[in-house]
Every structure is written in structure tokens, then in C-alpha cells.
Copies of this chain bind each other. A is one copy, B any other.
Amino acid sequence: MEKEVSFQKVRYDEKRQRILESAGKLFAKKGYEKASLEEIAAKLKLKKGTLYYYIKSKEDMLFQIQMQSLEKVNHLVDEIVKTDMSASEKLVEVIKATVKNSTRAYVIGCINQQEFVFPEKMKKQIIAERRRYHDAFLGIIQQGVKEGVFEEDNWKMRAFGALGAMNWVTRWYSSRGELSPEEIGSAMADFVLKGFGKLYQK
């Protein structure tokens, strides 16, 4: 009996995930505002009523996708921060992981959506996850400043510049483009490292 229940749970979760991924791709294509639940249901050959068995609203889908993506990238960043790599190495790995995470087909149309759209409780959770990322990122920059490889002058502005260079990728990335997310991540990491004045050390 127990087993059957958990099998149902797995099936439920898989289906829910499939719905989220389909919705996320539609958000990327049409924009969050213009995509409708009817269209998401139609794409999955489901009745709109069935959709509500898995998700509460369009907002809820956007929220779930953003949280999945933020939790995943924060987990990856935690793993990177824990290592004994240098700040430069950590920065390269974090940028590569972030670009790869945020360019995934069902994530890319959701990740830049601002938090205004959410009710207070969801907004707080999103902001807390973003804050975690942000603090870890700034921690790596501070490590680099301490190691003497990143310029101290205006280090916070440089950190924001780096976040921008990286986060902006989702605004221009195309899966049909010449470069893979990995190659884009490497190129951005190189740009950012130079921006931190790493060249002074060579």
C-alpha cells in the first residue's frame, strides 16, 4: 500500500514537472504576460481544470520555476564555495554554472521576470534565494580582493557589473546561436576576470 502511494506521488511530481517545463517554454516564447493557462493546457492536451490539480495559477508556475532555478544554482554555488579553489577559479566556475542553469529552455523566460508580479509571501522567498546567491557571489569577490588578485577599488561596482554581464545572457541567448552555454560562460568569465583587474597579476 505504502509503495503504491509513493508511486502515485512520483507520477504526480513528474507530471507537475512536465507542466512547469511546458509552461516555462511558452513564457520564453510569448512572454509571461501573454501566455495563458488555456494555451498551456492545450499544449499538454489537458483540460484547464486538470491543470489546477497540479498548479494553483500562472503566478504559481512562474514562482515554482524561479524557485527551482534559484535553489539549483545556489546549491551549485555552495559546492563551489566549499572547495579550496582560488577566488578566480571559483568565479569562473560560478559564472559557467549560472549561465548554464539560466539558459535552460524552460528557465530562460522566467528568470528575469521581476518579483513585483508575486504576492508578498512568494516575493519574500524569491528575494531570499536571490540574496543567498548575491551574498555568495560577493563573498568570492571579497576573497579575491583579500588574495590580492582582484582590484579593491570599486570592488562592489565591479561585482554588480559582473552580475549584470552574466545575468544579461538570458536576454540575448539563443539556442540556435553559434556558442553553447558553456562557451558563453567561459567568455563571460574571461571578460569579468579582466574587469576585476586580474591582468595586473600576470
Interface residues, chain A, with chain B CB atoms under 8 Å away: 30-34, 112, 114, 116-117, 154, 157-158, 160-169, 171-172, 179, 184, 187-188, 190-192, 194-197, 199-200
Contacts and interface: CB of A to CB of B under 8 A. Distances in A.
A159 B168 CA distance: 11
A172 B194 contact: no
B190 A192 contact: no
Contact of A187 (B33, B157, B165, B179): B157
Interface majority SS on A: helix, strand, loop or mixed? helix
Contact of A166 (B30, B163, B164): B164
- Stoichiometry (number of copies): 2
A188 B157 contact: yes
Contact of A163 (B31, B154, B168): B168
Given A30-B116, A117-B31, A154-B187, A172 B160 contact: yes
Contacts of A160: 165, 168-169, 172
Contact of A194 (B31, B163, B195): B195
Nearest to A195: B195
A99 to B, nearest CB: 11
In order of increasing CB-CB distance, the 8 nearest A-B pairs are A31-B116, A164-B168, A157-B187, A161-B165, A195-B195, A161-B191, A164-B165, A191-B195
